[in-house]
């Protein structure tokens, strides 16, 4: 094997064999949880070819610099409190741009198929017969936990992990979830969008039989330089989160895997000045 000798040759090698972005198609791409190093090669390959990038609130705008110089970028975020920046409009815009013959990149935080409405957008594209590709990304519930030094599974502690969302389309605690069943059946629970209703959610889990002294943590801005982690117990996490005035985006983890952070917090350790 010959190693590339120039950075140009290196780049060519890096992207060799990755797909061409066909004009008139849409790629739904996950950008990962925040740290640019967690983007996939497919994501970067998409960015360097796209004509238009429609991106979400969770995307770091600095990362759009990977795109072509004449790229058009459109913000389609949903910022807390405000109702969704009309999902229908976003979907129609994707279809419209594709029909104009553009290479349309829909860039989303984490993974597009995990609580990201990627499924809805893909279905609409399928119905409109617009060709599309899905590029998975590292979801916050996995990448964020790693950066917090909390293994999502640990052999002695759990044999399963549950991802759930703390609010449904109406903005309330999801009523379609059987909270008693979650409390009984989910050894480790990783919650997205759970900050707003944290006290009622933790109460539902306690009512379902979970121990108040069980480990719990909240990870804000996971994988970014502003990452903040608060460790508490199921009984105290809601109150402590409020007192610390933590802000979303945040993940909440319930389960005794949280205690491993004490020994596995590599991220804080790396940020400390070396002796």
Q: Interface with ligand SAH by CB under 6 A: which residues?
A: 33-34, 58, 108-111, 114-116, 139-140, 144, 192-193, 219-223, 248-251
Known catalytic residue at 265? no
Comparing CB distances to ligand SAH, the nearer of 221 and 241 is 221
Comparing CB distances to ligand SAH, the nearer of 205 and 220 is 220
At 242, give phi and psi (nearest 5°). -65, -45
- 28: three-class secondary structure by DSSP: strand
User: Least Å distance between CB 31 and ligand SAH?
Assistant: 9
Q: Which of 56, 111, 191, 195 is catalytic?
A: 56
Q: Which of 60, 78, 240, 265 is catalytic?
A: 78
Residue positions counted in the chain:
275
User: Least Å distance between CB 12 and ligand SAH?
Assistant: 31
Structure token pair of residue 244? 């610390």
Residue 100 DSSP class: T
- 233: three-class secondary structure by DSSP: strand
Q: In terms of DSSP bridges, do strands 188-192 and 250-254 run parallel, antiparallel, or are they unpaired?
A: antiparallel
Comparing CB distances to ligand SAH, the nearer of 116 and 215 is 116
Q: Which of 39, 47, 191, 193 is catalytic?
A: 193
Known catalytic residue at 193? yes
Known catalytic residue at 108? no
Comparing CB distances to ligand SAH, the nearer of 51 and 195 is 195
Comparing CB distances to ligand SAH, the nearer of 130 and 142 is 142
Structure token pair of residue 66? 């990977």
* C-alpha torsion sign, points 170, 175, 176, 177: positive
User: Least Å distance between CB 56 and ligand SAH?
Assistant: 8
- 81: three-class secondary structure by DSSP: coil
User: Least Å distance between CB 262 and ligand SAH?
Assistant: 20
Q: How far apart are CA 226 and CA 202, in angstroms?
A: 25
- 75: three-class secondary structure by DSSP: strand
> Which residue has the CB atom at the shortest distance from ligand SAH?
110
Q: What is the Cβ-side half-sphere exposure of residue 138, based on CA atoms within 13 angstroms?
A: 18
User: Least Å distance between CB 157 and ligand SAH?
Assistant: 22
Say how far residue 17 (Cα) sits from the centre of its chain: 27
Which whole-number Å values give the CA distances from 192 to 81, 118, 155, 234, in the listed order?
Answer: 16, 16, 24, 16
Catalytic residues: 56, 78, 193
């Amino acid at each position: 094997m010959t190693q590339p000798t120039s950075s140009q040759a290196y780049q060519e090698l890096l992207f060799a064999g990755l797909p061409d972005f066909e004009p008139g198609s849409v790629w739904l791409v996950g950008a990962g949880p925040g740290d640019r190093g967690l983007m996939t090669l497919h994501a970067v390959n998409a960015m360097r070819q796209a004509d238009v990038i429609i991106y979400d609130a969770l995307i770091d705008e600095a990362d759009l610099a990977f795109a072509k110089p004449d790229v058009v970028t459109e913000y389609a975020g949903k910022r807390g409190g405000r109702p969704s920046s009309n999902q229908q409009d976003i979907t129609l815009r994707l279809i419209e741009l594709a029909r104009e013959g553009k290479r349309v990149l829909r860039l989303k935080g984490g993974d597009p198929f995990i609580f990201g409405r990627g499924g809805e957008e893909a279905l609409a594209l399928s119905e409109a017969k617009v060709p599309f590709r899905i590029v998975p990304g590292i979801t916050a519930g996995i990448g964020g936990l790693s950066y917090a030094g909390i293994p999502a599974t640990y052999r002695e502690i759990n044999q399963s992990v549950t991802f759930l969302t703390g609010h449904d389309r109406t903005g309330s605690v999801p009523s379609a979830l059987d909270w008693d069943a979650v409390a009984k059946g989910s050894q480790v629970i990783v919650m997205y969008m759970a900050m707003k209703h944290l006290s009622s959610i933790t109460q539902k889990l306690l009512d379902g039989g979970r121990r108040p002294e069980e480990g719990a943590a909240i990870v804000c801005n996971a994988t970014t330089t502003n990452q903040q982690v608060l460790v508490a117990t199921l009984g105290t996490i809601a109150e402590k989160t409020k007192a610390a005035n933590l802000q979303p985006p945040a993940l909440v983890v319930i389960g005794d895997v949280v205690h491993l952070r004490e020994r596995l917090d590599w991220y804080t350790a790396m940020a400390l000045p070396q002796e």
